[in-house]
Structures are given as C-alpha cells and as structure tokens.
C-alpha cells in the first residue's frame, strides 16, 4: 500500500510540474488543496462532492485549528478515490473474458474487470485491470458522433486519445498521440478507436441457437397472439440450413405460403413451426422456447437487439451468429471493375446497427455505419459496411455466410490479387462528425491501473479525472516538507 501511495503522490507532483515547468512549484505560503488544483494543475474541481472532499482533507491536515471534540482531530489517515466523471451508465465495454458490461452494471456490482486498453508509447492494444466504476453525480452531457457511426455520451471534461500531429500526406500520418478534453476538441478532429477487442473465451452457445438468433434477427417473426413463429427466406441453401436446425429439435417446418418480394425472380418462402407458441404438448416446443428466452416474441424490426449472450460470446458463437445474420439482410458486393469487395448488412434499427458494429470488433473487423433514406415505409436504413481490404479479408477468412459462400470465394481471389497485404494497425483513426449537448444526466468514473485508458463504446478513453486529479490522496495529521 505504501508503494502505491508513494507512486500516486509522485504522479500528482509530476502532473503539477508539467503544468508549471516555467514557474516551478515553490510558493511563499501553503496552498489549500482546492488552490493546488486550480493554480498548479489548471483544473476546476466540480462543485459538490469533489470540492467538499478537498476541503475536508484540508481540515484534517490543519487539525490544530479544529475545535476540541471535533471528530476530525482523531483522524490519522485518509484515502480517497475520485475523478471528474465521464461516461453515462449505459456505456459499454468488453472485459478480457469477452463479456459485455455496462458501466452502471460494473458500478452496482463493484466489479473489477480486465479491459482492453492501448499502450500510448507503442500504440498497441493490450489489457489491464480496471477499478470498479463509481457514480459521481449529474452534469451536462454531450453526445460525440464519429464518421464511422460510433457514438458516446460524456462530460465536457472527458479525455480522448487524439493525434499529436496529423502530418502532411493524404493519408493523414501522425507523429504521436496526445490526450485532449472534449471541451478542447471540435468537429473534424481525430479520435483513436481500436481495430479489435482483446479477449479470450466468452459465452459458448449451442451453434444451432447462435444460428437461429442470426436468422430471426434478420427475417424472423414470433407472435403470442397467433401462436406461431415464422422465418422468411428466398435462398435454397439458407432454407435447407434453417429447416435442418428445426428438425434437430424435433420440429417439422411448415410452408404456409410464398410470394415474390420486390422482384419476380425473388421467390420468398415463409417457414413456420408445427407447434404453436404457448400451446406445446408434453415435451414442449424447444424452438419457440429459445425464441422466448432471447426476447424475440412480439418484437419487430425496430426494437430487436443482439442478445447479450451473443455480444458476450466466444469466437465460435459469434461466427455462427454472423453466418446466419448476413444470410438475411447482408450482402457481398464486387465492383470497380472486379477490383473492390464490400461486405455489408442493412437494418432499420440504429441500436442493432451499433450492436453489430461493436460485435465485429471481437473478430478484429472495423465497420462503418452509413444512413440512407429508403423508398419504403421504413424511412431510414442503416448500413454496416466493411470496405477496407484488410478488414474484408479478415471477415471473409472467419465468416462463411450461408448462401453467399460462392461469391465470398470469388471475393477471396480478388483480395488475394488486389488486396492490401499489410496487417491492420491496432489504432483506427476516426473523425468527429458532431458534438451536441443532450442535457443533464448521471455520470460515472472509470480508471485503469497500468495504462490509464480503456476502450468503451468502441473508442479509446482516458481514465476519468486524469487531467483533474490524483487516483488517490493520502493526508496525515502532520505536514512533511
């Protein structure tokens, strides 16, 4: 403990020296802790708990001036941990075991987890232990949206990794990184994001369940009122795979009807289950029970979400899920005279699009979300597109989309002939598209021990309060010089 406290004290002094390298730290009169942070660190403690804590420690340090009987005179040592607060409780991160958490969940469970972070000296991804987040208070929050479609809601004091020097070439090469508060950033600036998530293990679902979830997210429908679950498909390979899964559960598929969807050559079949939901006999209808378990009953395209079990899945689970999901509303396109490949997925559900973009990081794939208007009643659609050759290649190597494997083989030939052979960097630089106030809300602290940063909502964030304060402070009842 003493080594930790000594290290923390050294960190604080180093921070102050870096802010005052021309004036030095010497002052004729002692400073209060509030004065130390405002004058030495150039920071303003938030009113409320932060300021109150500093003032309380000041009183303990000056115990001789306290009246007799004041309980603070008996205090011999104080240890406190706090920061500026940064994230909404709904912000998400993956731990080193592949599990998805919200910041609020970690705070409520007082959970320490190992998370993905970046070594700022080598610009490589690694993992480190994060202390349990803490709820700090309320403040004005700002939504930061990147050109890739990623979003995060933070305070103005939240710190991001940015480019130290953009450089002069058209690819925007840089000479290093620096940490800047959101208040010091503007639209068009770059923020560091990871090209993958570091984890081992994860939830290992039955491959049949993972594939059913993928099919149902794209083209499945379950209704308690009608008592039937159904799946829409127009590809024979997809139809065969889906029906084979049903039969392994003892469910014989029923073909209710078929119709042409948009084009006369696109004949869609509606496949239902022979046992109605909620009216199963003896052994029950296992397939419909799975649908209820993962929340597919009475939901539509606008409120479906990727289940937490898939988001927290191991690679096998994720791959089985993606192979089925992309068989529904996914595509593999070859254009630019047969030299360029794009893999994509389309949904009218923005939250689902963000889920998928986040999930793809677990297999080392960076995707971008674009929004477009549709000619249908859906209004707006979100396309999750993989276009960089190194990420298309990585997806193709891992995920063999049901019904689209033939074109993926063709795509592989193109990538091998024209693709970029270099390994993707650990850091992917993404531009800020917008910054907007979203009003007041509760915010949380999160700190990582070794590297002082972490990946949340697909962005690289600095420890809460690094630019404000100590990770901890110790104050004894005597001063030392």
Q: How far is CA 132 from CA 82, 105, 107, 317, in A?
A: 11, 10, 6, 28
What are 289's two structure tokens? 């029970």
- Does residue 319 contact residue 398 with C-beta atoms inside 8 Å? yes
3-state secondary structure of 377: coil
Q: State the pLDDT at residue 4.
A: 45
- Does residue 199 contact residue 94 with C-beta atoms inside 8 Å? yes
Please compute the mean of the pLDDT values over residues 309-338 and round it to a whole number: 94
In the DSSP assignment, the letter for residue 422 is S
Q: Do domains 92-195+427-462 and 207-418 have the same CATH topology?
A: no
225 vs 212 pLDDT, higher one: 212
Of 65-69, 250-254, 359-363, minimum mean pLDDT range? 65-69
pLDDT tens digit sequence for 287-301: 888 988 999 988 888
Q: State the pLDDT at residue 72.
A: 75
If we measure between CA atoms, which residue out of 261, 255, 264 comes closest to residue 228?
255
pLDDT over threshold 50, residue 466? no
What are 255's two structure tokens? 């073909």
By the 10 Å C-beta count (0-12 exposed, 13-18 middle, 19+ buried), 14 is classed as exposed
Task: State the CB neighbour count (10 A cutoff) for residue 184.
Answer: 14
Domain boundaries, the chain: 2-83+470-476, 92-195+427-462, 207-418
Of 57-71, 182-196, 343-357, minimum mean pLDDT range? 57-71
pLDDT over threshold 80, residue 1? no
- In Å, how far from its chain's centre is CA 83? 21
Please compute the mean of the pLDDT values over residues 306-331 and round it to a whole number: 96
Q: State the pLDDT at residue 136.
A: 79
pLDDT tens digit sequence for 399-411: 999 988 788 888 8
Rounded CA separation 155/44 (Å) = 14
Angle between helices 207-219 and 315-329 (to 10 degrees): 30
3-state secondary structure of 66: coil
In the DSSP assignment, the letter for residue 71 is G
- Does residue 98 contact residue 200 with C-beta atoms inside 8 Å? yes
Buried b (16+ CB within 10 A) or exposed e, 44-70: ebbeeebeebbebbbebbebeeeeeee
222 vs 23 pLDDT, higher one: 222
pLDDT tens digit sequence for 133-170: 888 778 899 999 999 999 999 999 898 999 876 555 54
Residue 86, phi then psi, degrees to nearest 5: -150, -50
> At the topology level of CATH, where does 92-195+427-462 sit?
Endonuclease - Pi-scei; Chain A, domain 1 (2.170.16)
Q: State the pLDDT at residue 52.
A: 66
Residue 275 pLDDT level (bands cut at 50, 70, 90): low
Residue 357 pLDDT level (bands cut at 50, 70, 90): very high
If we measure between CA atoms, which residue out of 37, 25, 80, 33 comes closest to residue 469?
37
Rounded CA separation 462/159 (Å) = 5
What residues have CB less than 8 Å from 404, skipping those under 6 apart? 326, 327, 330, 331, 332
What are 119's two structure tokens? 């070594």
Q: Is the dihedral of CA 283, 286, 290, 295 positive or negative?
A: negative
pTM of the model: 0.79
Q: State the pLDDT at residue 350.
A: 95
Please compute the mean of the pLDDT values over residues 96-119 and round it to a whole number: 95
Q: State the pLDDT at residue 162.
A: 93
Highest mean pLDDT of the ranges 30-34, 38-42, 338-342, 393-397: 393-397
CATH architecture of 207-418: Roll (3.10)
């Amino acid at each position: 403990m003493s080594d930790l406290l000594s290290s923390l004290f050294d960190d604080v002094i180093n921070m102050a020296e870096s802010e005052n390298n021309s004036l030095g730290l010497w002052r004729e009169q002692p400073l209060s802790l509030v004065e130390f942070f405002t004058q030495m660190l150039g920071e303003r403690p938030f009113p409320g708990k932060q300021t109150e804590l500093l003032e309380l420690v000041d009183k303990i340090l000056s115990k001789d001036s306290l009246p007799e009987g004041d309980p603070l005179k008996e205090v011999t040592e104080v240890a406190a941990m706090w920061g500026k607060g940064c994230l909404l409780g709904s912000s998400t991160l993956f731990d080193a075991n592949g599990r998805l958490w919200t910041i609020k969940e970690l705070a409520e469970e007082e959970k320490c987890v190992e998370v993905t972070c970046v070594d700022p000296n080598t610009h490589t991804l690694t993992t480190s232990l994060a202390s349990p987040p803490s709820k700090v208070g309320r403040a004005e929050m700002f939504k930061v949206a990147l050109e890739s479609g990623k979003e995060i809601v933070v305070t103005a004091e939240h710190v991001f990794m940015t480019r130290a020097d953009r450089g002069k070439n058209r690819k925007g090469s840089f000479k290093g990184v620096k940490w800047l508060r959101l208040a010091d950033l503007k639209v068009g600036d770059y923020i560091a994001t990871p090209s993958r998530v570091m984890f081992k293990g994860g939830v290992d679902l039955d491959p049949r369940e993972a594939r059913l979830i993928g099919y149902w997210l794209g083209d499945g429908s379950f209704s308690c009122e009608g008592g039937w679950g159904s799946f829409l498909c127009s590809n024979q390979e997809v139809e065969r795979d889906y029906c084979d899964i049903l039969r392994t559960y003892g469910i014989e598929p029923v073909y209710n009807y078929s119709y042409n969807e948009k084009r006369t050559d696109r004949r869609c079949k509606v496949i239902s289950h022979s046992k109605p939901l909620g009216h199963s006999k003896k052994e029950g209808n296992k397939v419909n029970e799975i649908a209820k378990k993962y929340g597919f009953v009475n939901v539509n395209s606008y409120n479906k979400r990727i289940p937490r079990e898939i988001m927290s899945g191991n690679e096998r689970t994720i791959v089985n899920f993606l192979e089925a999901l992309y068989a529904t509303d996914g595509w593999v396109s070859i254009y630019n005279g047969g030299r360029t490949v794009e893999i994509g997925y389309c949904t009218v559900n923005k939250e689902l699009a963000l889920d998928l973009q986040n999930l793809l990081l677990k297999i080392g794939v960076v995707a971008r979300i674009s929004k477009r208007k549709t000619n249908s009643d859906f209004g707006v659609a979100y396309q999750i597109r993989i276009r960089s050759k190194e990420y298309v290649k990585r997806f193709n190597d891992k995920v063999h989309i049901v019904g689209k494997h033939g074109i993926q083989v063709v795509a592989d030939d193109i990538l091998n002939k024209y693709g970029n052979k270099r390994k993707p960097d650990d850091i992917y630089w993404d531009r800020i598209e917008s910054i907007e106030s979203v009003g007041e809300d509760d915010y949380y602290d999160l700190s990582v021990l070794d590297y002082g940063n972490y990946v949340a909502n697909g962005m690289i964030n600095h420890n809460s309060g690094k630019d404000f304060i100590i990770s901890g402070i110790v104050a004894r009842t005597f001063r030392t010089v």
